[in-house]
Amino acid sequence: MINEKGSFVISLDFELSWGVRDMYRLEEYKDNLIGARSAIPLILKIFDTYNVHATWATVGLLFFENYHEMMKSLPEKKPLYADELLSPYFTIQEIGSDEREDPLHYALSLIKLIASYPNQEIGTHTFSHYYCLEKGQDLTAFRNDLEAALQVAKQNDLSITSFVFPKNQVNEDYLTVCRELGITAYRGNIPHWIYQKRNGKKGEFVKKVFRFLDSYISISSHNCYSTNGTLSSIPYNLPASRFLRPSSSGLKLLESLRLHRITSSLTYAARKGLVYHLWWHPHNFGSNIQENIDFLQKIFDHYATLHMHYGMESLNMKEAAQKLARDTEFRAVNNSFKR
């Protein structure tokens, strides 16, 4: 019997300003981004307390000591998005010279802190927060981008195997390149239509409203999945089950619905031996930091009970991929015996 234990997978998209530059004006969102820097050590601490494993899918541009180092390491072919605003390269000369001067564009000290904690995996969120479904970019630019991300990680003694598509723009045609470059796991989207991604903003508003509602009441169901079955080609797809929305103080009833939506799915996964994959960005915790940490603690208290009763285990994406590989091998051997 395999897969009798449920898995609780967590991934965080660590991007600071690089992930939001085309969505918000810096002034609008600055407090959240600065707050993310304070939230990260607290998140790591609570992960450690509950022995929670997680993947931090980190934007490559955050890895640099200074502007000079960054400029030396930019990919040769850059994406030429039809919408120029999407590219960070046209305005990159506006950033500060290092992490002390510009803590929203550099984060090497935090990356080192994360990597120093047990069971925390540094993954990649591409080098430049690269949009894989946007018009104008192509496979060569994507390959160059991913190579640059893996290279700067390697310079910091980190070997990366987990990948998260920026804006969840999953492009299946790019998975072969991911595999060639050593990626073994990526985070796919929830199969429900409200989570399907296209380029641009068309149809996004309606989906956004439904996604918001889905955080409180079940629209897309539990989104838990088995590691048995069709998910067995490298890189393994570890679809998201739920986005952890930031706390909204004052809305107590909504907060309890939001918690129940997550804990009930976790229970379902634990009982059925399925995977539940929760994700968010550190900057989602950037304001109301304590409320967000307290909310996370409630989720982890629930997980601790499930761990005790059902043996549910916490895995980062790399570990989940390794488990999948073992299970796939087990099935292959089993099938060959049956034949």
Kindly tell me which of 166 and 273 has the beta carbon lying closer to Zn ion. 166
Q: Smallest gap, in angstroms, from Cβ of residue 302 to Zn ion?
A: 27
* Burial classification of residue 207, based on how many CB atoms lie within 10 Å of its CB (0-12 exposed, 13-18 middle, 19 or more buried): middle
Structure tokens at 308: 């005790």
Of 132-161, binders to Zn ion (CB under 5 A) are none
CB contact at 8 A, 305 and 55: no
Q: How far apart are CA 33 and CA 289, in angstroms?
A: 12
Which two structure tokens, joined as six digits, stand for 265?
A: 């799915």
Q: For residues 132 and 299, which CB has a smaller minimum distance to Zn ion in the complex?
A: 132
Minimum CB distance to Zn ion, residue 225 (Å):
23
Q: Would you say 67 or 130 has its CB closer to Zn ion?
A: 130
Measured in whole angstroms, the distance separating CA 148 from the mean position of its chain's CA atoms is 19
Number of residues that bind Zn ion (CB under 5 A): 4
Closer residue to Zn ion, CB minimum distance, 283 or 323? 283
- Provide, rounded to whole angstroms, the least separation between the CB of residue 61 and Zn ion: 12
What 8-state DSSP symbol labels residue 100?
T
Instruction: Report which residue's Cβ sits closest to Zn ion.
Output: 19
Least CB distance from residue 125 to Zn ion, whole Å? 5
Binding range to Zn ion, per CB under 5 A, among 5-13, 133-141, 189-197, 231-239: 5-13
Kindly indicate which of the ranges 95-103, 109-117, 163-171, 237-245 contains the residues binding Zn ion, using the contact rule CB under 5 A. Answer: 163-171
Q: 95: closest CA among 18, 180, 159, 31?
A: 18
Between 20 and 52, whose beta carbon lies closer to Zn ion? 20
Site string for Zn ion, 6-35 (x = CB under 5 A): -------x-x---x----------------
Q: What is the DSSP letter of 266?
A: H
- Toward Zn ion, which CB reaches closer, 7 or 237? 237
d(CA 240, CA 275): 10
CB of 179 to Zn ion, least distance (A): 22
7 or 58, CB closer to Zn ion? Answer: 58
Residue 61: alpha-carbon gap to chain centroid? 16
Residue 129 CB, nearest distance to Zn ion (Å)?
6
CB of 84 to Zn ion, least distance (A): 19
Say how far apart CA 12 and CA 282 lie, in whole Å.
7
**Which residues are bridge partners to 163 per DSSP?**
124, 186
Rounded to the nearest whole angstrom, what is the least distance from the CB of residue 216 to Zn ion in the complex? 23
Nearest to 164 by CA among 263, 59, 301, 299: 59
- The CA distance from 258 to 252, in Å, is 10
Round to whole Å and give the CA distance between 185 and 318. Answer: 7
Q: Are 106 and 98 in contact (CB under 8 A)?
A: yes
Q: Of 75, 88, 103, 166, which lies in the binding site for Zn ion, with binding defined by CB under 5 A?
A: 166
Residue 45's contacts (CB-CB under 8 Å, 6 or more residues apart) are none
Considering beta carbons, is residue 6 or 166 the nearer one to Zn ion?
A: 166
Please state the closest distance from residue 296 (CB atom) to Zn ion, in A.
Answer: 20
| Rounded-to-integer distance, Cα 141 and Cα 152, Å | 17
**Cα gap 178→62, rounded to integer Å:** 20
Pick the closer one to Zn ion by CB: 15 or 319.
15
Choices 149-157, 165-173, 177-185, 287-295 (CB under 5 A): range interacting with Zn ion: 165-173
Binding site residues, Zn ion, CB under 5 A:
13, 15, 19, 166
